[in-house]
Amino acid sequence: MKTAGWRSAFIYGCAVALCQPLAACGSAEAPAAKREGAETRAPIADDAPLVIAFGDSLYAGYQLGPKEGLAPQLQAALAADGVPARVQNAGVSGDTTAAGRQRLNFVLDNAKAKPALVLLGLGGNDMLRGIDADQTRANLDAMLAELKRRDIPVLLTGMVAAPNLGADYARKFNPIYAELAAKYDASLYPFILDDVVTDPSLMLGDHMHPNAKGVAVIAKGLAPLVEEQLPDSE
């Protein structure tokens, strides 16, 4: 990870340490805040490549409007680059890697088409709950193995351990994403909140989740990696 990324990761880790009693990265019951000024997007063709964003509250659009989460903003960023794709929101607030592993096949089996790409972003809630990093690794490994079995490319988005969990936990947790990306030849975005968590104007008041502007930064960072994986992209 680049130097700025490590700084972002450290600051996020400190914020997570302060908020860790919440014990989950968002809640499925949290109300969505209303937002103004949502832009009208051109319709995407039914046969456009399907991208599934499979993750936790950072993917689900915690406390954001229906057009402000990662899936709609990434779809808009791709369209702005002339790359039409349908981005499906498969984020569930509070999901651990174990929960994601349980629902992955259901999401894939019920998709309207075979995904051209799956964004996989889980592990933050494992970290918040202090779940053994070996379990996190095993669950992510199993999901990546299933996606490889189905011949579906993956873009893995990483997370970092909070400092208060200790150096031993960090040594086991932090390398998981890069090592699994290498093992499965997956594309990697090392830290999902890179260039976002260091700017309070891009974060919600909980200091753990991005606001709509922060999600836009994430989508802009992810878009080139997504475009590389889509059919007919150069």
In angstroms, the CA 17 to CA 182 distance is: 29
Active site residue 206: yes
Active site residue 207: no
**Which one of the listed residues 57, 126, 194, 195 is annotated catalytic?**
57
Q: Is 149 left (phi over 0), alpha (psi -120 to 50) or beta?
A: alpha
Q: Which of 8, 56, 95, 209 is catalytic?
A: 209
Residue 6 near residue 158, CB atoms below 8 Å: no
User: H/E/C letters for each residue in 115-180?
Assistant: CCEEEEECCHHHHHCCCCHHHHHHHHHHHHHHHHHCCCCEEEECCCCCHHHCHHHHHHHCCHHHHH
- Catalytic annotation present for 57: yes
Number of Cβ within a 10 Å radius of residue 3? 7
Q: Which candidate in 81, 141, 199, 206 is catalytic? A: 206
Distance between CA atoms of residues 88 and 115, nearest Å: 10
The pair of three-digit structure tokens given for residue 227, joined into one six-digit string: 């475009």
**Residues annotated as part of the active site:** 57, 206, 209
